[in-house]
């Protein structure tokens, strides 16, 4: 793997990157769609991944059409999803804890930039045992423009006190990659449910199989993890 400059700070996405929550979310959405007489469209759903609630609403209405009962489906979908993820831990992705511990040992600043709203993000991190790593959290209800707009990453950098140069963003979704790239950061993508599009791959950022590969990238530098 090509050697890249070590990070001055790292900003993490959460769902689909640290936590295996996107799979749960998608399966519940597909089930709710079926219950309401709509076939699950994976292509439409893929465009929602990484966006905030307003972005998801826009994508689903554009994809399914004006007859799609978004408010009804969103209510059932979120009720069931939140009942699941707020009650029991979501599985932590392979390598997530190791990467966080590596950065902590090397005293590299970290932050979270997630489209999830603050109370839900806090509970997910708490249940997963990751809450102690993220004092700085930019959540979907704290920005006016969600991913793929760069605002969440720009706000994370502002709170960290770092310029984008030399800072890494770790993302699973194309929308997240576009946001971090637009903020001027070095992005490492760890695809989850959906492989990167040709448009996103053309950005030239590293695309790896898991966070264990991110650990390998960090370990290539003098200060081993």
Q: What's the pLDDT score for residue 222?
A: 44
Question: Average pLDDT, stretch 193-219?
Answer: 94
pLDDT digits (tens, 9 = 90+) for 70-123: 999 999 999 999 999 999 999 999 999 999 999 999 999 999 999 999 999 999
Separation between Cα atoms, residue 159 and residue 171, nearest integer Å:
19
Helix (H, G, I), strand (E, B) or coil at 138: strand
164 phi and psi angles, rounded to 5 deg: -65, -35
> Is the per-residue pLDDT at 182 higher than 50?
yes
Catalytic residue among 13, 15, 20, 174: 13
How is residue 50 written in tokens?
């990484």
| Strand stretches in the chain, DSSP E | 9-12, 109-113, 137-138, 167-171, 186-189
> Is the per-residue pLDDT at 40 higher than 50?
yes
Work out the end-to-end distance of the chain between its first and last CA atoms, rounded to an integer number of angstroms: 17
pLDDT digits (tens, 9 = 90+) for 110-143: 999 999 999 999 999 999 999 999 999 999 999 9
Other Cβ atoms within 10 Å of 85 Cβ, number: 22
Q: Is residue 141 annotated as a catalytic residue, yes or no?
A: no
């Amino acid at each position: 793997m090509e050697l890249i400059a070590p990070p001055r700070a790292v900003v993490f996405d959460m769902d689909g990157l640290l936590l295996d929550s996107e799979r749960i979310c998608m399966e519940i959405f597909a089930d709710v769609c079926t219950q309401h007489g709509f076939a699950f469209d994976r292509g439409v759903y893929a465009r929602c991944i990484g966006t905030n609630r307003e972005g998801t609403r826009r994508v689903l209405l554009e994809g399914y059409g004006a007859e799609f009962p978004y408010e009804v489906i969103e209510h059932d979908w979120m009720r069931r999803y939140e009942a699941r993820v707020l009650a029991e831990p979501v599985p932590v992705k392979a390598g997530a804890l190791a990467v966080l511990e590596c950065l902590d040992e090397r005293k590299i600043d970290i932050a979270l930039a997630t489209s999830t709203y603050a109370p839900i993000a806090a509970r997910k991190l708490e249940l997963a045992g990751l809450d102690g790593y993220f004092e700085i959290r930019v959540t979907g209800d704290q920005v006016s423009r969600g991913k793929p707009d760069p605002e969440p990453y720009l706000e994370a950098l502002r709170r960290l006190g770092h310029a984008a140069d030399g800072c890494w963003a770790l993302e699973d979704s194309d929308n997240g990659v576009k946001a971090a790239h637009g903020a001027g950061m070095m992005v490492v993508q760890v695809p989850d449910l959906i492989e990167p599009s040709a448009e996103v791959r053309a950005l030239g950022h590293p695309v790896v199989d898991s966070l264990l590969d991110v650990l390998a990238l960090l370990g290539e530098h003098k200060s081993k993890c």
